[in-house]
Structure 1
Amino acid sequence: MDTNYRIAYNKGWRDLKSKTPAEIAASMDVEYVSSKQWFIVPFLNENYIVDCGSETIGKEPDGSVPPIGAAILILHYLSYFQSKEEIANKWVSLKEIPNGGILFYPAFHKEAIGGLIKAFGQQPELLLKCAASLGGKPAAFGDVSATFQVFPKIPLCIVIWEGDEEIPANATILFDPSIQHFLHIESIIGLGCQAADKLVQLALKQ
């Protein structure tokens, strides 16, 4: 495990254990099984068991361990919040999210949005096929778009505009502005990158 990831992963467990399970479950809409010290966390259409006793995370039903980046996002989702907030039911780009969104946007565009343009810009209808594997549902933005319930309180929308000989393809990733209360900016970026990467990998298999 890379040192920076290890530091973030270990801190995630410490932060998680600094809060009470009941507070986490109520604030972040997840189930806590007190007899087993488990949180059950839906993440991109799959359930993950966060075992606070053994400090392990495994996917249902086979217990497979998620990639370290995904594991950190799950821990941050459970531990970052400071108060109970509700979804705003609006959409904004990363540039509109406080505490660094506009600063990090160029790198985010290169890493996440660029991949979406390459994968779906000339075949936008493929987005819906790939999105369905992650629980995505069609939306009404751009030429093709899909919304995802990434975590119980974190929706995300991916929009594709088809390119042609005159106009280049384009894409964007939209967030509910409430996300600033649920994840810090680095994790918001990581979440967008994870969703984009999963969709690109699914497109490559088509």
Structure 2
Amino acid sequence: MDTNYTPLIQQNLAVLYENLPDNLVRILPAKQDGDRFIFPAFGKICTLSPEGVFLGKEMLHDARGIILSLYALHAADEPADVTVFKAFKEFENTMPYAGAFATHTEQVLVPHAGAIKARLTTIKTLLNGGNAPAGLGGDFSFVVNPVPKIFLCYLIYEADEEFPAAVTCLYSANAANFLPIDALADVGEYTSRAIIDLVAGL
């Protein structure tokens, strides 16, 4: 069903396909099948085509379609920098989005801390993740890769007698080179939603 996002997604795709970069396959990176570009995103297979953005067989009409079409438009010829992770607020121009980021990316996971720990291996596998770098903190932590060149590191603090559970989400150091900052905030939100979906019903 079309939404207010649909024309924006189509506009992004029209701009992309009007002047496709010769090296788009390499810099996304993706596989190419005719005019389609295929890569993993949010734990599923993303297909970009002139007709739309798909996750699996679902055509996207939400912010994920915006994120993924913008990611292709902003494809940068550099690797992700996972030597350092930084807080969302450390990127430039994040203040207008900081409150929503804390609510929809971090706090939304707090009630699921125990379930996340129980399904940590599944989360890391399905979201193309792995172990977090040592020394970042948290009672447990992990890295996921929801969009090819954007990595998120989640630090989970479990509740104890003195403090409630808490969640911190960090980004790979150059994540803002691949998306506008509002879309980068949305990556956090939709990654956290994907994590909640993976632990639902546990």
- SS at the partner of 1:70? helix
Q: Deviations over 1:8-66 (max 9, x none)?
A: 21222133124424232232212223xx21111211332222223xx233344xx3324
Which residue of 97, 101, 116 maps to 1:108? 101
Mapped pair 1:161 → 2:133: no
Aligned to 1:44: 42
Determine whether 1:128 maps to 2:120: yes
Report the secondary structure of 1:137's partner residue: coil
What residue number does 1:94 align with?
A: 88
1:1-206 correspondence to structure 2 within 5 Å: 1-3=2-4, 5-33=5-33, 36-52=34-50, 55-60=51-56, 63-66=57-60, 68-81=62-75, 83-89=76-82, 90-98=84-92, 100-120=93-113, 122=114, 125-126=117-118, 128-129=120-121, 131=123, 132-139=125-132, 140=134, 141-206=137-202
Deviations 1:55-96 (A, max 9, x none): 233344xx3324522222211111124x42222221001101
Instruction: Structure 2: give runs of 5+ residues left out of the alignment.
Output: none
Q: Which amino acid aligns with 2:74?
A: Y
Offset at residue 165 of structure 1 (A)? 2.1
Count of residue pairs brought into register by the alignment? 196
**Structure 2 SS opposite 1:104:** helix
CA distance in 1, matches of 2:141, 2:148: 20
Identity, in percent, stands at 21
Structure 2-normalised TM-score?
A: 0.85
CA contact (8 A) 1:31 1:41 kept: yes
CA distance in structure 1 between the aligned counterparts of 2:21 and 2:98, rounded to whole angstroms: 34
Conservation of the 8 A alpha-carbon contact between 2:39 and 2:46: yes
Letter in 1 for 2:59: V
Give the 3 Å change call, closer, same or farther, for CA 199–163 of structure 1 in structure 2.
Answer: same
TM-score (norm 1): 0.83
Question: Using the alignment, how far apart are the partners of 2:104 and 2:55 within structure 1?
Answer: 26
Pair 151,111 (structure 1): closer, same or farther in 2 beyond 3 Å: closer
One-letter code aligned to 2:16? L
CA-atom RMSD in angstroms: 2.2
Q: Which runs of 5+ in 1 are unaligned?
A: none
| One-letter code aligned to 1:37 | D
Structure 2: distance between partners of 1:74 and 1:57: 7
Shift of 1:7: 3.8
Cα distance in structure 1, aligned partners of 2:153 and 2:119: 12
